[in-house]
Amino acid sequence: MTYKIENQIIAGLPSIALTTKSYIIAHESGNPNNTSEKALENELTFMKRNYKNAFVSHWVGGGSRIVQLAPIGKLQYGCGPKGNPHCYAQVELARTSNKEQFKKDYTAYVWLLRKLAKDAGVPITLDDTGKGIKSHKWITNNLGGTTHVDPYSYLASMGITEAQFKKDIKNGLDSEITTVSKPNNTEEYYKK
């Protein structure tokens, strides 16, 4: 499965070279008040207005849309001063309260993180030592300069554990994921 990446590069971004191209960062918006059908558009509008404070290369949401706001391989302001100089790309996941939309967004999110890791030539692993795909939480715990621990709380609220996210990054999701209710009212996601 492949996805179209919409190009909406923000005009006027700084063009600063990276120190290394070691990481792809997995974020989520952290905005529990923005979960409507317009959540992705709201987040894009906000970032375009406030890019001097923070910006990332990509956003995913709105039922599997992928939007690129900044060039990859250049400095982005998304995971703090210690992580930013080493991040080839940083990807935000917009929130939703719709579980069916989440499944589509999550599948596109995993696909994009894996694609960007391949493009950067870094391992397709999550939160392991060395180069690879890292959560914002990994940056906080290992490099510092930030206190954010996304995307895990939001993913967990939608039934995706850290272990499942790690497995999905490693193996990919070739088809849409499906939700299965378990007896204890939790949900499990698996490939069809």
Portion of the chain with pLDDT greater than 70, in percent:
90
pLDDT of residue 177: 42
Give the residue with greater pLDDT, 128 vs 2: 128
Please state, in angstroms and rounded to a whole number, the distance separating the CA atoms of residues 100 and 31.
Answer: 19
Is residue 31 over pLDDT 50?
Answer: yes
Span 53-72, average pLDDT: 98
Q: Spell out a b/e string for 27-54, using b for 16 or more CB atoms within 10 Å of the CB, else e.
A: bbbbeeebbeeebbbbbbeebeeebeee
Q: What is the pLDDT of residue 94?
A: 98
Listed by start position, the domains of the chain span: 5-191
Q: Is the pLDDT of residue 96 over 90?
A: yes
**Residue 181's pLDDT band (boundaries 50, 70, 90)?**
very low
Torsion, CA 43, CA 46, CA 51, CA 53, rounded to 10 = -100
**CATH number for the domain whose boundaries are 5-191:** 3.40.80.10
Residue 176: predicted pLDDT: 42
CB atoms within 10 A of CB 97: 13
Residue ranges in 88-144 assigned as alpha helix (H):
99-120, 136-142
Backbone φ and ψ of 143, nearest 5°:
-110, -30
187 pLDDT above the threshold of 70: no
